[in-house]
Chain A
């Protein structure tokens, strides 16, 4: 998913606050706490709405734990009886899960690290040399990727990566980094502007080089932004289907989401196996989200996404 509301979020926020002539602090309390007691009726309506979110996830989990015979009985919503892990066992070998997981995790880790490091370095150079045309133009140039969806450049990219031997997970990683870069540069440059110049000057007076200043002072300060950038890079990369499916030519180097298509063609009636496999491919992203949801939610509104 790509979410990039960041560009505008601040203005609007400012506009809304100005219109209401209230401070942020006050407004937050105001609209959240205005009507006395919590409403049970509204809570129940929302819980019912939440069911639509939960149903597909519930079906995935319950199907995954069914036996082969129960999975084809036509009732998708029944609980597994008996409880069986045979689906997982078969899916594990069918998709060669350890290898596919490794490919997925390497691409994802590479994208996260690459997006953070390249983005932070470039943003630091840009924001500290904003009075130089080259750096200023580079900023707009790198941001331009927001206007180029992958499908537009897909065909030449498939061709070029094939020509230079990057039609593999490494090529996918590089492309993931490049498509995430504009979002990370946007967040990092905004944050870098808020770091007081005195801080850096005092580091320099102590004799630190630019390289040292960056790694020992700036990069640690960027940690909250890096967390947001990293999580979005993780989600975009782990869940991506289009790029790896088109760029990677060797099926044995395919990522988890792409491999799930074997259940659409060859093993289409082994529902317990296919759902076990879907679950094993989705679970890592959901688990990461549950532990990092604060940054995910803040990230969307702060600088939010595209993808």
Chain B
């Protein structure tokens, strides 16, 4: 299958709609088509839309998850801005997502350049680099947890580094680095595969021309390769950022939000609403988080459409 078939109708213009190939008006829709569509629509509405609406509704109340409640207007939203726990989780999550996006994209891009060059054991190497993508996040976080709290301190003592002599997971200033490392370990493969697709789409004659003009390898990388895969960089940055905002498994497995609440992400804070008695308040938090994700997604759609129109 070529990639061209993967275009969703969502983006197609009126002229390119699938309907143009078919009769414009049919006498009526065959009943069975409704039967095909309805199960998805009904389950989706009950499983996702309804909970989302209920959540937004309760964000304007003082409900604790059960029993009586009353409307409190925007109080939950206003309180969030002066709540150190919430502010900290937003700062941490955005800082973490930004760092991880940068780290992941640099590593994945360089690996992709290497993996599309003329090398030995290419298939084998690609397989190895993709494996982290299929490993459970929580489990690999437990494995790294062991390495960070047992092996790394042993190494730290051996080289006489005071900071590394104790577990970095217990250090409020360094724990986030461990989370970035493990998240990057898992996220590089997906990003890498997209970059490989991007690099393979660059025609070779561009480089031949550059060779003739006497451009060096580094110059070619910066002046030709990077601009030509700019679109892929953009996709990877946006998708990665959105994914990293949802960080949960890896953090639970490494620090569980600690030390203290130093590495508690937004999703982890939201989930405390289930046990912490501030259900409505965390629903306001979830609604806020939802708005942020939607805004990022809209920017993504807008910019990709802009590219498309060009």
Q: CB of A257 within 8 A of chain B?
A: yes
Q: CB of B212 within 8 A of chain A?
A: no
A152–B203 CB distance below 8 A: no
On chain A, the residues within 8 Å of B197 by CB distance are 9, 13, 301
Interface size class of A (residues with CB under 8 A): 35 or more
Q: CB of A81 within 8 A of chain B?
A: no
A16–B198 CB distance below 8 A: yes
On chain B, the residues within 8 Å of A126 by CB distance are 37
| From B137, B229, B246, contact of A150 by CB (8 A) | B246
A181–B40 CB distance below 8 A: yes
Interface positions, chain A 222-266, Cβ under 8 Å from B, are 224-225, 235, 238-239, 241-242, 246, 257-258, 260-261, 263-264
| From B33, B117, B125, B207, contact of A210 by CB (8 A) | B33
CB closest chain-B residue, reference A2? B243
A156 with B58: in contact, given A12-B231, A77-B151, A191-B5 (CB under 8 Å)?
yes
A181 with B37: in contact, given A3-B190, A40-B120 (CB under 8 Å)?
no
CB closest chain-B residue, reference A274? B142
Q: Using an 8 Å CB-CB cutoff, how does the interface string of B131-161 with A read, 1 for contact, 0 for none?
A: 1111111111011111100110010000000
On chain A, the residues within 8 Å of B10 by CB distance are 7, 139-140, 143, 186
Binds A, one of B68-76, B96-104, B166-174, B286-294: B286-294
Most B Cβ at <10 Å: residue of A130, A191, A209: A130
| From A124, A190, A261, contact of B5 by CB (8 A) | A190
Q: Using an 8 Å CB-CB cutoff, how does the interface string of B21-52 with A read, 1 for contact, 0 for none?
A: 11011100110111011011101100110111
A138–B37 CB distance below 8 A: yes
Interface size class of B (residues with CB under 8 A): 35 or more
A186–B8 CB distance below 8 A: yes
A174–B204 CB distance below 8 A: no
| From B6, B136, B143, B274, contact of A246 by CB (8 A) | B274
On chain B, the residues within 8 Å of A224 by CB distance are 1
Q: CB of A175 within 8 A of chain B?
A: yes
- Bound form: Cα–Cα A50–B189 in Å: 12
A11–B190 CB distance below 8 A: no
CB closest chain-A residue, reference B113? A42
A264–B293 CB distance below 8 A: no
- Bound form: Cα–Cα A239–B132 in Å: 12
- Bound form: Cα–Cα A150–B213 in Å: 52
- Bound form: Cα–Cα A45–B270 in Å: 43
A147 with B294: in contact, given A43-B119, A238-B136 (CB under 8 Å)?
yes
- Bound form: Cα–Cα A296–B134 in Å: 10
Distance (whole angstroms) from the CB of A17 to the closest CB of chain B = 6
B308–A11 CB distance below 8 A: yes
Distance (whole angstroms) from the CB of A300 to the closest CB of chain B = 4
Q: CB of A80 within 8 A of chain B?
A: no
Distance (whole angstroms) from the CB of B224 to the closest CB of chain A = 10
Q: CB of B186 within 8 A of chain A?
A: yes
- Bound form: Cα–Cα A194–B300 in Å: 26
CB closest chain-A residue, reference B305? A11
On chain A, the residues within 8 Å of B17 by CB distance are 130
A37–B118 CB distance below 8 A: yes
CB closest chain-B residue, reference A281? B139
Q: CB of A159 within 8 A of chain B?
A: yes
Q: CB of B7 within 8 A of chain A?
A: yes
B51–A160 CB distance below 8 A: yes
| From A24, A49, A128, contact of B33 by CB (8 A) | A128
A132–B127 CB distance below 8 A: no
On chain B, the residues within 8 Å of A148 by CB distance are 48, 52, 290, 293
A193–B29 CB distance below 8 A: no
Q: CB of A206 within 8 A of chain B?
A: no
Q: Using an 8 Å CB-CB cutoff, how does the interface string of A268-286 with B read, 1 for contact, 0 for none?
A: 0001001100100110011
Q: CB of A158 within 8 A of chain B?
A: yes
Q: CB of B163 within 8 A of chain A?
A: no
Distance (whole angstroms) from the CB of A154 to the closest CB of chain B = 6
On chain A, the residues within 8 Å of B134 by CB distance are 235, 239, 285-286, 288-289, 296
A59–B111 CB distance below 8 A: no
On chain A, the residues within 8 Å of B203 by CB distance are 17, 20-22, 26-27, 30-31
A42–B119 CB distance below 8 A: yes
On chain A, the residues within 8 Å of B221 by CB distance are none
Distance (whole angstroms) from the CB of B91 to the closest CB of chain A = 17
**Known contacts A22-B203, A301-B193; 9 further A-B pairs (Cβ under 8 A):** A9-B197, A26-B204, A27-B202, A76-B147, A118-B40, A186-B10, A242-B249, A297-B193, A301-B3
Residues of A within 8 A of B (CB): 1-17, 19-22, 24, 26-40, 42-43, 45-47, 49-50, 52-54, 56-57, 59-60, 63, 74-77, 118-119, 121-122, 124-132, 135, 138-143, 145-160, 174-175, 177-179, 181, 185-187, 189-191, 193-194, 197, 209-211, 214, 224-225, 235, 238-239, 241-242, 246, 257-258, 260-261, 263-264, 271, 274-275, 278, 281-282, 285-286, 288-290, 293, 296-298, 300-307
Residues of B within 8 A of A (CB): 1-11, 17-19, 21-22, 24-26, 29-30, 32-34, 36-37, 39-41, 43-44, 47-48, 50-52, 54-55, 58, 65, 111, 114-121, 125-140, 142-147, 150-151, 154, 185-187, 190, 193-194, 196-208, 228-229, 231-232, 234-236, 239, 242-243, 245-246, 248-249, 252, 266-267, 270-271, 273-274, 279, 282-283, 286-287, 289-290, 293-294, 297, 300-301, 304, 307-308, 310
A-B CB proximity, top 3 nearest: A30-B204, A22-B203, A12-B231
**A and B contact pairs by CB, cutoff 8 A, 7 listed:** A10-B4, A29-B204, A39-B118, A142-B40, A157-B51, A242-B267, A302-B6
